[in-house]
Structure 1
């Protein structure tokens, strides 16, 4: 072994190791080394360092954090006061490194201030990278960084203005703020703190519904629940044991002083049991008191608070300008996204309130504690906060390096799909020239005699009086609901109001500043899209396909000059597939939204999302007056404009009324009678003789349908009608369409000698469930001596169904020849989609066909169902367009009142959505 190795070993073992090969001398034990003790060092901080540490701890744990008294820090077995460092006394230094040139980090006051500022910004939920970027951008100014982050994370909604013009001076604004501060102090007491005078307010809350998002709090609540269950179980067992002891029979030997079993005795020793029960009660009371004290101490020591911070920037116009609102918490594992999402809800609420110059702090504080509203906003809000991986100033539309617009690459489906030409493609210059040409033709048309005649007719419609109100509301809001009775002119006039307003305003502008307008109006059915388009084109004294056109499946009449397109809802959905933002479309009108078809409901869902990407898009929803508020609430309480209807009074009759007046009688042998078993006819005759006597009893319950009643119950329910009518009601099968009854009622209507005093002119509209029933009634009336072509020849039978050709459907709108009356056999397509101007009489069979999905068979079917009361009222409104009308419902009044639904079931709740989503 060389000298260097021996030296290293001696350094390692701290003593020289004797080589046994060099000597045979006995090894002497090494001398005992005296231990060397060094007392533990006590670290002492300067006052500046202590202040900085306390500020950091308060930033982490909350402003209420305080150090406990030194007496509370007990030595729990560590014996720190009697511990020492143990030194070996012969430390050998073999090398070193000079750290004098190494830059120290975090020791300067600037670094400490930056660390404190970042912690404060991150406590609001902002991303760390964005906090650093904002702090650097503002040169270390915390207030500037807070304002920048607020601007980037919480931009105001497009439809809400951030600042309202006000002429109030700074002194008055400060006085208003002081009044609000005093009110908040009186309401929240110590929970409200003014951190900086007239600059920063803070409210402290305990919000359990937000703590439910904390994993640690969830575990605590689970532990509390288990402890409570264990406590309840223990109390239950104790009570059961107490009850068991109370039920024991007394010990007779103990009463005589002879019981030798003592506490082991099966029977009850009276005084002992009482003492045991009393001690047990005292024990339970002590445990309850201790438990309540523990819970009280735990509540007082619970550090999980939420802080609502309200900041007023310099030169703030509050309450005419929304303040900066932030939310932070002392709960360490609350997700930052949750804090930002809740803060966004509070910010939007404050903007809405300050639009009217009202204080908003109390309202936002109450909203924060409303668990239902906050949960609904967090669930529905889809706003994307800035991505922490990107710059705070990143804009997705434009690349900052070369100012080139970034577009998504096509998917493999799009690359492999065959693109179809859905319409004329023109460049912006051609579009501008076409707009100027349309404006010129419109101005020249003002002197056209045909156009003036049509304009006079348009002014007679109720919708004309609301034109200026509709245009003004559309300029103020991006979406609104127009509600009006059938026949008020909303379907034909509202699109023309928008088009005419654009033409008149553009005619006063320079050629280079003319804006482009393209209006799409959806209709639920093909016939309504064609009919309304042709009517509007006629009112504008032009051919279909010029300024006004339509587009349906496998057919369209549009051109480069078309600015108003009527189409079915499915056509617009398909256009959204190839053009998600509808870049050239400026107005979308969704007509007949109250029908709640699957396509219209799905379209409203897409439009609600599209409005976030296209704030300049205008959407108009047109509905009947039945449930217009439903659509208003869906889009966030948007304005609703009411257009009054122009209808004459309509007399409403039900089945029992028309049977009584017309004298229709049904015999038991009729094919449309309810099924009767053998021998029931004779029994029926016997019941008919005594039914009026039995009917003296109380009327049956309203919940029982007519087909489930006996003869006596029918007489009791319809006691105001003749026995002949009651017999017919009893025999009639309400689920079957009766051609004999319909023909008899028609004969009664057209018979002027019947004495009813009804008009002897006007179209008769008959509502039937489907095409099969239309064909049956059409054949029955064709074979009739009175209504058939081989009879008197005074009537024209016109079927109306969606499967008919466009030419056949167009016959509905043609007026009947002179001296003849038109009888229209229609499905529910004529309820709202088609308007028959000269309709006076309506026969409502009360049934319609609906698509239903059978989950057991996993298939879709078309079922005959009863109409709703809303459908019945719509059918009633079809009569009385030109004069006083009559509506005859071929079902009873009790069925209308008690047994049919008030509103139809939306189609999206009845059918599977796979075909719509896969289309």
Structure 2
């Protein structure tokens, strides 16, 4: 075993030799960061108040409070690690800015909202859920005492459906605005409207703060009525950037080589964060790393490999924040979930593949696929900023500097590249009279909006009256569920038990059951009979139906797009005549994931007019 391990290690070293070239970018391009731990007690050895005072933002505290006190809207730009996300809400609360209302801080992802709330609660020496709380999908840890509330973009948007003026909030902080998620873009318009209407009605003013480490400042300032931009200066630890000499054809192999090069040379206390594109890559890389680490020479540093991706249960996500044994290196394999507010303590090295998995939607074909693509420059700098939170750090970029200069400056807003069915449903629930005239910061294409309306109409969620689109009673129920519209006719339980999901399934079921009871949805168990569940999916996902062809291939019934079954599916070696998919992943081929076998008659029942010309095997 030892000889094989040495041989493998030598192979990795040879593969890396000459591959990486150290670059010392000009001073203005170096990213620096201050450490801000989250999600647990990492403050051993140092007083927490002293940590707060050492953050770069502390030096600007008095000036910042004075500016924010007199501004209705402000845009705050601060480097990663400046402390803006954890400190500004506390500054506002301590200075009584906003009066007796709640201070809301939105995050694109639930793990960020939870870990940030835990950190701020720790700093304030209060129990989480009292003064500081959080709300994410299917989990609400707040009370009537909560004055600082972290929540996901989607949850604040859902609150706006009930109260469009957001009356309970005195300050809304939209954090990580540069990510430009669909929910964030919609929130921009919602809070801007709420701020204006509250002023017109002489109600308590709403203060709006937009924060990011990097942003198209002119666009945001112009959108928010020429709002002033406040820059937070200061840096603690430098980050050295390394680029490859040559382009890498296989970024996964290059990542593996980089991990073990670092593992051999760096002290065990230095953790590594590797950015990959998705769950499959992460799990495969995790298995490979664990296998190779077993074969390293005796006496070598041990390795703890931890995955981090959105569908991972929250308790497993939070494992990355826990301190491990001092003689074991922590290697975190993550999607872009770790790019922003999620700060993992102890990270010294970042390995950036330069790739990300992003949605792409084509209204003409009705296909929404997850495609692997290059990151933007803004994303690359965000990734580099994860290193060196405690000390100086190093970022290995697995692409050349010339390639980096060709990256887009900013990420294309998600609202311009995704299915808008959920957005349209939410806006109609917010009583927006004309979706096309909604005040988007970046307007989606009219074709995408029309395609979303058509899809909702086919699902029975909307109808046209007097040249207006309005919600049907079913659509009102759909909007109440924190799910995609196609998953909202009733709750569909999974066919198989997944141990990673069971920790949350009872809480999710309870909340969904409460919503069903509230809206009078009849509840009845299907027990062992899966036909009802599959029939329900057929009535919801009929737009995602595929048909087996005579040559053994599959085509989507809607656009006749060639698709194949993903190798991870239990149906990979079978050929059912008709199936539904939940997601398309486009790599070398267009793969279907999350499949369900259905009867063509069920599809015809769901939308007879739609399938009259499309189904070959259905009754006519």
TM-score after normalising by structure 1: 0.40
Q: Matches of residues 13-412 of structure 1 in structure 2 within 5 Å? A: none
Corresponding residue of 1:570: 154
Task: Indicate whether 1:914 and 2:421 are aligned.
Answer: yes
Q: CA shift at 1:561, angstroms?
A: 0.8
What residue is the counterpart of 1:191 in the other structure?
none
- The question of 1:850 aligning with 2:358 is answered yes
Q: Does 1:499 align with 2:7?
A: no
User: Is this contact kept in 2: 1:788–1:795, CA < 8 A?
Assistant: no
- Of 897, 901, 904, 2:411 maps to 904
Question: Could you list the per-position Cα deviations for residues 16-62 of structure 1 after superposition, in whole angstroms to 9, with x for gaps in the alignment?
Answer: xxxxxxxxxxxxxxxxxxxxxxxxxxxxxxxxxxxxxxxxxxxxxxx
SS at match of 2:172: strand
* Aligned with residue 463 of structure 1, among 48, 57, 60: 57
Counterpart-to-counterpart distance in 2, 1:589 and 1:774: 32
Distance across 2 between alignment mates of 1:850 and 1:645? 33
For 1:869, the equivalent position in structure 2 comes to 377
SS of the aligned residue for 2:338 comes to helix
Deviations 1:796-839 (A, max 9, x none): 11111111111111111112211222111001111113112321
Aligned 1:358-757 pairs, distance under 5 A: 453-502=47-96, 515-615=99-199, 616-656=205-245, 734=249, 736-739=250-253, 741-752=254-265
Contact 1:801 1:827 in 2 (8 A): yes
**What per-residue deviation string (whole Å, max 9, x for no partner) do you get for residues 321-363 of structure 1?**
xxxxxxxxxxxxxxxxxxxxxxxxxxxxxxxxxxxxxxxxxxx
Match among 785, 789, 802 for residue 310 of structure 2: 802
Match of 1:821 among 326, 329, 333: 329
Partner residue of 1:36? none
Q: Residues of 2 paired with 1:600 and 1:585: CA distance? A: 17
* CA deviation after TM superposition for structure 1 residue 583, in Å: 1.9
Q: Confirm or deny that 1:811 pairs with 2:322.
A: no
Q: Confirm or deny: 8 A CA contact 1:519 1:564 kept in the other structure.
A: yes
Aligned partners of 2:82, 2:295: CA distance in 1, in Å? 33
How far did 1:453 drift? 3.4
Asked whether the 8 Å contact 1:840–1:883 carries over to 2, the reply is yes
Using the TM superposition, give the Cα deviation of residue 792 of structure 1 relative to its aligned residue in structure 2, in angstroms: 4.7
Determine if contact 2:305/2:330 at 8 Å carries over to the other structure: yes
Gap runs ≥5 in structure 1: 1-448, 507-514, 657-717, 719-728, 753-757
2:581 counterpart residue number = none
Supply the distance in 1 between the matched residues of 2:218 and 2:344 (Cα, whole angstroms): 27
**Does the C-alpha gap of structure 1 residues 647 and 626 become closer, same or farther in structure 2, counting only changes over 3 Å?**
farther
The alpha-carbon deviation at position 630 of structure 1 amounts to 2.6
Conserved 8 A contact 1:519-1:563: yes
SS of 1:528's partner is helix
The answer to whether the 8 Å contact 1:521/1:588 transfers is yes
Alpha carbons of structure 1 residues 788 and 806: separation in structure 2 relative to 1, 3 Å: farther
Q: Matched residues in 1 for 2:207 and 2:296: separation? A: 51
Is the 2:106–2:174 contact (alpha carbons within 8 Å) kept by the matching residues of 1? Answer: yes
Which structure carries more helix by proportion? 1
Task: Kindly state the Cα deviation for residue 609 of structure 1 after the two structures are TM-superposed.
Answer: 1.4
Distance in 1, Cα, partners of 2:128 & 2:296: 36
Structure 1 pair 629–788 and aligned structure 2 pair: CA distance change class (3 A)? farther
Aligned-partner SS, 1:649:
strand
Aligned mates of 1:790, 1:522 — CA distance in 2: 48
Distance 1:788 1:594 in 2: 42
Q: 1:835 aligns with which of 343, 350, 372?
A: 343
Q: Deviations over 1:228-274 (max 9, x none)?
A: xxxxxxxxxxxxxxxxxxxxxxxxxxxxxxxxxxxxxxxxxxxxxxx
Judging changes above 3 Å, is the alpha-carbon distance between structure 1 residues 609 and 841 closer, same or farther for their aligned structure 2 residues?
Answer: same
Distance 1:606 1:543 in 2: 31
Q: Report if aligned partners of 1:648, 1:880 keep a CA contact under 8 Å in 2.
A: yes
Task: Describe the SS at the equivalent of 1:850.
Answer: strand
Distance 1:626 1:605 in 2: 17
Stretches of 4+ aligned residues off by more than 3 angstroms: 758-761, 785-793
Distance 2:137 2:77 in 1: 28
- Normalising by structure 2, report the TM-score: 0.58
CA contact (8 A) 1:646 1:881 kept: no
Structure 1 contact 794–821 (Cα < 8 Å) conserved: yes
C-alpha deviations, 1:124-155, integer Å up to 9, x for none? xxxxxxxxxxxxxxxxxxxxxxxxxxxxxxxx
Aligned partners of 1:519 and 1:589 also within 8 Å: yes
Kindly state the Cα deviation for residue 790 of structure 1 after the two structures are TM-superposed. Answer: 10
Task: Classify the secondary structure of the residue corresponding to 2:95.
Answer: helix
| Mapped contact 1:848–1:867 kept (Cα < 8 A) | yes
Q: Quote how far apart the aligned CAs of 1:517 are.
A: 2.5
Structure with higher Rg: it is 1
**CA distance 1:787–1:834, shift in 2 (3 Å):** farther
Alpha carbons of structure 1 residues 783 and 604: separation in structure 2 relative to 1, 3 Å: same
Give the Cα separation in 2 of the matches to 1:554 and 1:787. 42
Distance in 2 of aligned mates of 1:463 and 1:596: 24
Offset of 1:871 from its aligned partner? Answer: 1.2
Contact 1:647 1:880 in 2 (8 A): no
Aligned residues between the structures: 378
RMSD over aligned Cα atoms = 2.4
Is the CA contact 1:787–1:794 (under 8 Å) kept in the aligned structure 2? no
Correspondence for 1:117: none
Local SS of the residue matching 2:161? helix
Q: Distance in 1 between matches of 2:231 and 2:272?
A: 29
> For each residue in 1:531-574, what CA deviation from the matched residue of structure 2 results, as whole angstroms up to 9, or x when unmatched?
00000000011110110000111111111111111110011111
Give the one of 400, 413, 416 matched to 1:892: 400
Kept after mapping to 2: 8 A contact 1:737/1:773: no
CA drift of 1:793 comes to 6.0
1:621–1:493 Cα change, 3 Å = same
Q: Give the superposition deviation at 1:894.
A: 2.4
**By how many angstroms is 1:627 displaced?**
2.6
Aligned residue number for residue 289 of structure 2: 781
Instruction: Provide closer, same or farther for how the CA distance between residues 792 and 760 of structure 1 changes in structure 2, counting only shifts above 3 A.
Output: closer
- The Cα of 1:645 is off from its aligned counterpart by 4.5
Q: 1:793 to 1:751 in 2, by over 3 A?
A: closer
CA separation in 1, counterparts of 2:312 and 2:226? 40
Deviation at 1:607, TM superposition (A): 1.4
Per-residue deviation, 1:651: 2.1
* C-alpha separation in 2, matches of 1:823 and 1:915: 36
- C-alpha change, 1:884 and 1:454, in structure 2 (3 Å) is closer
8 Å Cα contact 1:653/1:889 also seen in 2: yes
Shift of 1:646: 2.7
1:787–1:801: structure 2 CA closer, same or farther, 3 Å change rule?
A: farther
The alpha-carbon deviation at position 620 of structure 1 amounts to 0.9
d(CA) in 2 for partners of 1:582 and 1:473? 23
Tell me the secondary structure at the aligned position of residue 610 of structure 1: helix
Instruction: Supply the distance in 1 between the matched residues of 2:299 and 2:370 (Cα, whole angstroms).
Output: 36
Partner of 1:687: none
Deviation digits for residues 576-610 of structure 1 (CA, Å, limit 9, x no counterpart): 11111122211111110011111111110111111
Q: How has the CA–CA distance of structure 1 residues 876 and 647 changed in structure 2, closer, same or farther, with 3 Å as cutoff? A: farther
